[in-house]
């Protein structure tokens, strides 16, 4: 999976003009959930054949690298707070920059512009006023500019991302859906991003349409679906989805969001097996949740009753993330990241676990001793006794919630593209419509 990739020379356009062997690996960012704009850590793999110097995204160097990618605006920062237009409050712009910087210091080598779900059809969906105040181009333009400013502070790469659309869910057809993608991709090309990401797709058909648009450019393409071991929402297996993404032209394939780190790795293993059977060798990418969700259903954590405002009891520890990073790496994944719920300390944990492979530590590790070793300075002897890896690695944390169950019951409404309930509209959801949904939810 990790060797001969067969990249064409058209993909070789290093931002620095240097061969990848002379510069360190890189990471990206993503995450669809309110205020969960967080970064990923992605290690890179082998170089292209024929002696070409590969694009930094596809570079060899065997060292793990990091990225920063943006998830669905509808679920992340409220009301597309990523928008930074000259007339907007400069404080918001500074907050967005500082969020990028936080993850840059944690080890992210690629800043993904905060453009998740920033398509024109999403900006006017169900009462959203962002599409009235700004266009998708305005938002994507500002997001690219901010991402590049911070990326240059650490000589990182910049990625632009597109995701599934309300137009697809509403059955508007291939042309309408691809028109939405094309408007976004054009902004990314104009802003000279280093590569493109198609992320958070529940249906392989729409993913193929997205990759097709991205292939109109000369940029490398990463493609991740938000599905699990049961496959996409039209019952295409996860293995077949991987094969179809690779055949469509994605250079990196994998999964993001909706599932926790260890559940996602099971699905990635199935993807890897199918790709090997088909004789395909794309790079593999993982961008799981920062939450434990072993009880979710086919649609992942969005079916859990705690989604999205009561997920905190499920947050993974930094030690969980070190385990996840190691297991992903040993599986052959070289783009190892995170999505909703990932905080900068999670990315630092991934970076520290793979420090040897990456050949470096993140800046934020300068004031952080690994595996709790800093506790040896604590005043209390029983706390000093915890200054060792074996203690934290074997710990089973308690929740402190005596009335909470270990598992929840997912809603499992079972609606997807083609269902009347998922047809989108510009008008706000009415009280009458809400009452129908409340009644349905109480029966399920």
**Binding site as annotated, residues:** 257, 339-340
In whole angstroms, what is the distance from residue 437 CA to residue 393 CA? 43
Within 13 Å of residue 169, how many CA atoms lie on the same side as its CB?
A: 18
Q: Do 71 and 30 meet the contact criterion of CB atoms below 8 Å apart? A: yes
Query: Angle at Cα 304 formed by Cα 301 and Cα 305, nearest 5°?
Result: 145
Q: Do 233 and 416 meet the contact criterion of CB atoms below 8 Å apart? A: yes
Residues 55/57/58/59 CA torsion (nearest 10 deg): 80
Dig out the tokens for 307 from the structure: 């989604």
Query: SS3 of 379, please?
Result: coil
Place of tokens 């630092």: 348
Q: Do 195 and 221 meet the contact criterion of CB atoms below 8 Å apart? A: yes
In whole angstroms, what is the distance from residue 229 CA to residue 208 CA? 19
Within 13 Å of residue 221, how many CA atoms lie on the same side as its CB?
A: 26
Binding-site residue set for Zn(2+): 257, 339-340
In whole angstroms, what is the distance from residue 193 CA to residue 112 CA? 9
Nearest to 235 by CA among 205, 274, 271: 205
Q: Do 300 and 258 meet the contact criterion of CB atoms below 8 Å apart? A: yes
Cα of first residue to Cα of last residue in the chain, in angstroms, is: 43
Query: Angle at Cα 358 formed by Cα 357 and Cα 363, nearest 5°?
Result: 135
Query: Environment class of residue 249 by beta-carbon count within 10 Å: exposed (0-12), middle (13-18) or buried (19+)?
Result: middle
Within 13 Å of residue 36, how many CA atoms lie on the same side as its CB?
A: 28
Strands 221-225 and 29-30: unpaired
Cis, peptide link before residue 308, omega less than 30° from 0: yes
Sequence length of the chain is: 444
In whole angstroms, what is the distance from residue 277 CA to residue 284 CA? 15
Place of tokens 């995204």: 57
């Amino acid at each position: 999976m990790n060797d001969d990739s067969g990249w064409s020379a058209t993909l070789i356009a290093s931002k620095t003009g240097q061969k990848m062997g002379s510069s360190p690996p890189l990471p990206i960012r993503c995450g669809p959930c309110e205020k969960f704009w967080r970064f990923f850590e992605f290690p890179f793999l082998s170089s292209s054949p024929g002696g070409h110097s590969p694009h930094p995204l596809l570079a060899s160097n065997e060292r793990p690298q990091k990225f920063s990618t943006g998830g669905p605006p509808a679920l992340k920062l409220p009301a597309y707070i990523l928008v930074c237009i000259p007339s907007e409050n400069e404080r918001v712009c500074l907050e967005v920059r500082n969020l990028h910087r936080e993850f840059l210091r944690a080890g992210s080598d690629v800043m993904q512009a905060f453009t998740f779900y920033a398509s024109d059809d999403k900006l006017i969906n169900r009462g959203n006023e962002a599409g009235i105040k700004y266009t998708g181009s305005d938002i994507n333009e500002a997001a690219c500019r901010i991402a590049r400013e911070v990326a240059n502070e650490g000589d990182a790469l910049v990625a632009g991302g597109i995701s599934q659309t309300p137009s697809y869910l509403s059955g508007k057809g291939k042309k309408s859906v691809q028109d939405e993608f094309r408007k976004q991709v054009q902004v990314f090309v104009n802003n000279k991003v280093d590569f493109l990401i198609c992320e958070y797709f529940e249906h392989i058909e729409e993913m193929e349409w997205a990759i097709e648009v991205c292939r109109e450019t000369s940029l490398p393409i990463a493609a991740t679906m938000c599905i699990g071991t049961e496959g996409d929402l039209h019952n295409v297996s996860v293995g077949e989805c991987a094969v179809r993404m690779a055949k469509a032209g994605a250079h990196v394939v994998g999964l993001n969001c909706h599932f926790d780190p260890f559940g996602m790795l099971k699905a990635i293993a199935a993807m890897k097996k199918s790709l090997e059977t088909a004789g395909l060798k794309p790079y593999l990418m993982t961008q799981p949740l920062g939450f434990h969700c072993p009880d979710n259903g086919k649609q992942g954590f969005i079916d859990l009753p705690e989604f999205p405002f009561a997920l905190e009891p499920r947050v993974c520890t930094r030690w969980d993330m070190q385990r996840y990073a190691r297991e992903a790496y040993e599986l052959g994944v070289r783009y190892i990241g995170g999505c909703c719920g990932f905080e900068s300390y999670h990315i630092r944990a991934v970076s520290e676990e793979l420090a040897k492979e990456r050949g470096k530590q993140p800046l934020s590790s300068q004031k952080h001793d690994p595996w709790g070793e800093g506790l040896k300075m604590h005043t209390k002897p029983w706390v000093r006794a915890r200054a060792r890896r074996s203690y934290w690695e074997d710990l089973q944390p308690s929740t402190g919630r005596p009335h909470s169950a270990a598992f929840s019951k997912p809603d499992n409404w079972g609606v997807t593209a083609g269902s009347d309930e998922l047809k989108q509209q510009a008008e706000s959801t009415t009280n009458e419509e809400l009452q129908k949904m409340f009644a349905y939810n109480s029966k399920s």
